A = this chain, B = another copy of it.
Amino acid sequence: MPYSSFASMPCTLSRPAALLGERWTLLLLRQIFLGTRRFEDFQATMDISRSVLTDRLNVLLQENVLKRVPYHEDGRTRHEYRLTEKGRDLYPVLMALRTWGEKWMAPEEEESFHLHHRDCGGGVRAKVECTECAAELTARDVQVTAKQ
The answer to whether B98 touches A96, judged by C-beta atoms less than 8 angstroms apart, is no
Q: How far, in Å, is A81 (CB) from chain B's closest CB? A: 15
The count of identical subunits is 2
The answer to whether B13 touches A97, judged by C-beta atoms less than 8 angstroms apart, is yes
The answer to whether B16 touches A91, judged by C-beta atoms less than 8 angstroms apart, is no
* CB neighbours of A122 from chain B (8 A): 130-133
The answer to whether A142 touches B124, judged by C-beta atoms less than 8 angstroms apart, is yes
In the assembled complex, the Cα of A103 lies from the Cα of B112 at a distance in Å of: 32
* CB neighbours of A91 from chain B (8 A): 128, 138-139
Q: A residues near B, CB below 8 A?
A: 1, 3, 6, 10-18, 20-27, 30, 33-35, 46-47, 83, 86, 88-107, 109-133, 135, 137-147
